[in-house]
A and B are shown apart, each in its own frame.
Chain A
Amino acid sequence: MTPAPTGSAPAPTAPTARTGIDWVAVVAALVTVAAFVRAIWFTPPDLLQGYAQKIMYVHVPTIWVAFLALGLSALSGAFWLFLKDPRLDRFAESSAEVGVVFTTGVLVTGPIWAKPIWGAWWVWDARLTLTLVLWFLFLGYLVLRGAIDDRELRARYSAVVGLLGALLIPFVHLSVYIFRTQHPMPVVANPEGIQMPAVMQVTFFFSLFAFTLMYVAFVRARMALATDRDALEDASTAER
């Protein structure tokens, strides 16, 4: 708790994000733990792939959240270009950072799954390479944001970079259809229907829901951080 200065008027303070327990985060954490427990102990392994197939319950929801996060970040940045609302920029920044974290998760779990199934940690096929490029693009987005002090300039440049970066998302998703790749076709978003037994489908969609909740919780927490940081910057600027 901040001690109140005594014997003089307190310095002016800008509004900050709410503090205390974030119940969305608590629920998201509990649901994610439940999804992990179901995937690890209550879902049978695949007959052909063995236990490695269970990596799908974290790998696919992770790329789903990465696409969602980076796509919404770009959309929010685009809206900022017209509306100039600082909350949109804070959301774009927060969602992009969460997106980079989840893309990192994809790039970590993918090779761990690939090694026992393909016999190689990494192959330079279209899906994997484009995912790596997407990760580099949004890492650049975050570095760009850190390099610009002027808030409006930072929001404008990063909105444009975010929009251009997000153009890659459909190519990453469709790469398995466009190019001949080592990466398999989707088992869920498949034109011929879901290629999975019912018990695995339940685990998969539960995991998808849990990871989406985690995304919401992370973005809320990250936006609170951005709000507090901006309030601190405002207060420092007002003092000068």
Chain B
Amino acid sequence: MPAVQAKSISCPNCGGPVALRGFAHTLSVVCPQCLTVLDASTPEVQILQTFQSKERVNPTIPLGSRGKIGDTQFEAIGFQVRQVSTGDDSYSWSEYLLFNPYKGFRYLTEYNGHWNFVHVETALPEQSRSAGKLAMRYGGKTYLAFDSMTANTAYVLGEFPWRVQVGESVACQDFVAPPLMLSSEASAGDITWSRAEYMRGSQVWQAFKLPGSPPPAYGIFANQPSPYAGSIGSSWRTWLWLNVALAGLVFLFMVISPGRSAFSDHYAYSQGVKSDSAFVTPTFQLDGRNANVELSVHTDLDNNWAYFNFALINDQTGQTFDFAREVSYYHDSDGSEGSRNNTVIVPSVPSGQYYLRVEPEMAAGSPYVRYELELRRNVPNYGFFAVAALLLLIPPVLTTFRKGSFEAARWRESDYAPAVSGGDD
């Protein structure tokens, strides 16, 4: 935008100079010295309002500053503070009037560090409903009703294309489709619709080359885009592909770890037949790489238990894997408990010639038990795959939960917040 000399008038109240940057568009201007609101629509500048507030508010973006938003350079020419009072509670936000001689007026609003770039629309949105909520259709998008309020102008500075007055009030309604927001302002029978797009403070600071860094944004604003938008679908898609890869891994190990039987035999044990129940099996060969060995015990126990001490011993090196398993099975008319079988997986057993040392134990006076020992080499451990499948669920579930929490926090501020039952407050 070329540098244009601002027109200047004298304030009829204090005599101070008042710059006019909005050319013929400016209908009212505020004297920066005495804060008197002046009618700038005629050459004879008249006083519209002489008293505002005793406290001056300094705009974060100084009036007269120029900033590029999109590909258009705007000049900040007006500033107002608007306030909403609801019972004991009141809050306010700032609005900057931006001007470009070719593009006209835009607004920049700020609330708790959340910024919006606002364009007044000429077309009317269409009322509709979405998910049972009041909504507006505009420009192919559906905006959900968020809140409604009556806003009062609490402070003005600079110039405006309407006859601005402190204390004037408008009925506002906001509809959101993050990062966009559609707002209506109604006063004296006129309704103005505007469309806002969310901006981060850093974008405003960069656009207007403001010194320092923007204050942090507090809370979640109505049309603030969710940081998780789009990430849920992507997250679940990634989860799906990783599960396909996991299934491929399962298939691969079913092929390369077929679980070949290395040893199998049947035995019987009777408590008290001999004092030393330990015995060793014949040797058997475990081939291949370091891999696991699965030992299964199948018994004919009936309302009894047996305990087996095992040692898998390498015949050449003496390397021993020492482990034990209990097998117990009880049943009555109410049902059953335990199992007649048990299994143990011995990890990372090197190849070699092995034998098993077996030492069964039972309670004194127990009848004899017949059992079978079956030893299989290199079996797939499906527990690892199950744990991997569970751990793969964590990221998408977490993302879904965080997005839900973000949206819940957004809608808690809304007049159309989902009803919460069972609360004390």
A is bound by B: no
